[in-house]
Structure 1
Amino acid sequence: MSRLDEIRERIRDKNAVVLTASEFKKQIDESEPDKLLRDVDVVTCGTCGVMSGTYAVLSVPVSPPGTFLRADTVTLNGVPAIPGPCPNERLGLVDLIVYGTAHASPTYGGGHLFRDIIADQELHVEVTAEGRSYQADISGHDLPHARLFTTRSAFKNYTAIINRSETPVSTIFSANPLAGKSNEATVSGCGEINPIENDPTLRFLSPGTPILVNGGVGYVVGQGTRSSNVRPNIAVHGEMNTMDPDYCGGFLTSAGPECLTSIGTAIPLVDESVISSLMIRDATIAMPVMDIADRQQISCSSYDRVWSGTARTIRYDPAGCIRCDPCLVKKSCPVDAIRESGEIDHARCFTCGTCVHLCRGTVYTGDFGSLALPEGNIPIVLRQSDRQRGEKICRQMKKLIQKGEFWL
């Protein structure tokens, strides 16, 4: 029996030894590789962050059969969709594609819509067909088909972004226009728990591999667009009615709404080469630094600057408020996690650092680190990945495997 078959048998018998990536990293310094190979069966990995290449394929009921021939335009909660490719002639049902980066307004886009569908919220549908308009109000679970896809996700290496010009720049990489003169840095990537950092050759992420997408069971389609040997990534899909809204949503940037997506994977410890890949740590993961002007690399840092000893939650102290009017924090929170009182809605909070950066008082505090570059130490003002949710999806995958509810 092969080592992989042994692991599958242990999973079936519900006695597999499963560790999250973080748990495994803690054992690296305490155990020899041979012992880890004997004592651990599976390591789970995860990531959560802005993934622009996310889209959904939906079937949307609009009106009784025979009401219209075929849709010319469609919006859901104001978010524009692309009808087709199947016209569903005279069925009153519209097949469509919605991009995660499509915008209904500066504060609501495809990512917000996907979260509302998964959370079974009410959706307002508007269709134009042959010069006439049709409307319907449905819920997310009324959709007979709703599947989420990514064209590229979970990059092995993301980049840090700075702005070396003299003036601020609006970009998808910043919550507010990114300050010039290399005064601010924004970062992405969950570092040492990222699925592809731990499986850089995509050995266990081949087409058809089961994974978690936004907390629901999904599958790897194959390598994603812009994937390369140096910076591999994957394309995935999953059924939206199995997903958890806590793992996804919209993220507001200075260039408009973006889309949040989470992915969890499992790596069976079948040989020493797997152990070698799993030994990766934040301090040894290179993080290229690019100028927003041309997206060309100008320097390099590492992920320990982002995740080692930095804030996992935001500290809130109303006594530090100096009564700014308007409150820049509430206005600019990318995930709308600041309540009217100023308190943080931790169920929505992404721990991105925007509130800490913008608060003129000391209401919101936390250490978000800096990048040591030739220009000096540049403070990180925005994290577009949430390590907390990445850890959470690792733990979810671990529990599913231990219960025998997720198969390799």
Structure 2
Amino acid sequence: MKSVYEINEKIMNGEAVVMTAGEFKESVREGKAPSLSDVDIVTCGTCGVMSGTFAVMTVPVAQPGTFRRCEKISLNGVPCFPGPCPNEGLGTADIVVFGTTHASEKYGGGNLFRDIVEGKEIKVVAESEGRVYENEIFSDDIMSARIITSRSAFKNYSAFLNCGKSPFNTIFSVLPLGGGASEATVSGCGEINPVQNDPTLRFLKSGAKVLLDGAQGRVIGEGTRSSDKKPNLSAYADMKDMMPEFMGGFVTSKGPECITTIAAAIPVTDEKCLEDLSVLDCDIPLPVVDVVKRDDVGTSDYGRIWQGTDLKVSVNPLNCLFCGECPANLACPTRAIMPGGGIIQSRCVSCGTCIRTCPGEVYSMDMGSVTFGESCAPVVLRQSDRSKAVEITEILKDMIERKEFTLL
């Protein structure tokens, strides 16, 4: 056995052996499962739509003494909740912003968070005692800003089908989900998800260090709706250290949602750790649920989603038909598609929407399928980005090896 303190000492001495979850799992598949002497830390990650994301910040509104208490406020049109501190006479407002609050059908809290981190101009509109105050600010003007997740990184999610006859608008799809159980939408990064590799939250407990949207933060505790069967995390980190490519908005057929990324370093202290870390995609059940009635209709597995499929969208610009208005560009939930067959990789989350909407078949990606009973449905939308999850595990590994991230 090894203790967390011993492994932490090895990190600080530059002696820790670190593997990403992908490297560890590949060794298991090859029949060369690492032993306690082979590895000290495994970095895990997940990236995708996580509705339970919000921000707490203090923003400048007007000159000190201008108003007593902010009664109503918005940032880039996104409604915010002022308080609880009145900041009387200071000209500032303490606010809470939900990642799923909508300014419009295409812009919400998740988009706002990314715009702040990218250093874009943010328009503040506030009301107090019948007067309206406006201000234009940038991230450096925001006195404090922290993102908190109320629930994130579920160990296991569900795949959704629409068993009804008519298409159905839902937060789990960009386009209406086709009827007759003909299409599936999925979430979850499977075997590399932090909670999947520490299912009892033995290490991912209150105070544990994590990366939240690329910034060093900590676990607050279990998130809302956490259970023994489906545990999840609540975490926080400062926005000023976040990486925009790991966050943002994601437009669904019911309005904008929020993209969040979490990575964690799991210490390998004993055989139980190795057992938990050895679980593969094909071993992880994926419940299949009717999105309308929320009835269970079967169980598939994550191997059908992430093994033998594509993690990223492939592009063939030569197929572009140069439509007047690019359908893929209009439908893209993260504004990653450029007319003419281009993709802004820092925005793309490989959801697959472009594949369904481009008439010229410029975009392609094998997204797998789910089984339920004797039936099978192709996946038409992924709400989780395994490629970005892999990337954040590699970033965390590098940080540990450079002694920039420790366990304690």
TM-score, normalising length: structure 2: 0.97
Asked if 1:305 is matched to 2:295, the reply is no
Name the structure 2 match of 1:8: 8
Q: What is the alpha-carbon distance in structure 2 between the residues aligned to residue 29 and residue 195 of structure 1? A: 19
2:283 corresponds to 1:270: no
- In structure 2, the residue matched to 1:184 is 183
Aligned residues: 407
Q: CA deviation at 1:323?
A: 4.7
Amino acid at match of 2:288: V
Identity fraction in percent: 49
Give the CA deviation at 1:271.
0.3
Q: After superposition, where does 1:5-404 map in structure 2 within 5 Å?
A: 5-30=5-30, 36-374=35-373, 376-404=375-403
User: How far apart, in 1, do the equivalents of 2:3 and 2:382 lie?
Assistant: 39
> 3-state DSSP class of the match of 1:103?
coil
How far does residue 369 in structure 1 lie from its aligned partner after superposition?
Answer: 1.2
**Deviations for 1:294-323, whole angstroms, at most 9, x for unmatched residues?**
222211100011111111222212332345
Q: Distance in 2 between matches of 1:355 and 1:290?
A: 25
Q: Deviations over 1:349-383 (max 9, x none)?
A: 11111111222222111211111223632110000
Whether contact under 8 Å (1:330, 1:342) holds in the other structure is no
Distance 2:292 2:377 in 1: 17
The letter for the 2-side match of 1:19 is M
Instruction: Give how far 1:390 is off.
Output: 0.4
User: Whole-Å Cα distance in 2 between the matches of residues 260 and 86 of structure 1?
Assistant: 28
Question: What is the CA distance between 1:118 and its match in structure 2?
Answer: 1.2
Q: What displacement does 1:181 show? A: 0.9
Range with greater deviation from structure 2 (351-360 or 198-207) = 351-360
CA RMSD of aligned residues (A): 1.4
- The answer for unaligned runs of 5 or more in structure 2 is none
Of stretches 240-249 and 352-361 in structure 1, the one that deviates more from structure 2 is 352-361
Compared CA separation, residues 169 and 10, structure 1 to 2 (3 A): same
- Deviation, 1:29, is 4.4
The superposition leaves residues 142-194 of structure 1 with CA deviations (integer Å, 9 ceiling, x where unpaired) of 11110000110000001100001111111100011111111110000001000
CA contact (8 A) 2:46 2:193 kept: yes
SS of equivalent to 1:105: coil
Per-residue deviation, 1:27: 1.6
Q: Which amino acid aligns with 2:61?
A: V
Unaligned runs of 5+ in 1: none
* Cα distance between partner residues in 2 of 1:258 and 1:16: 38
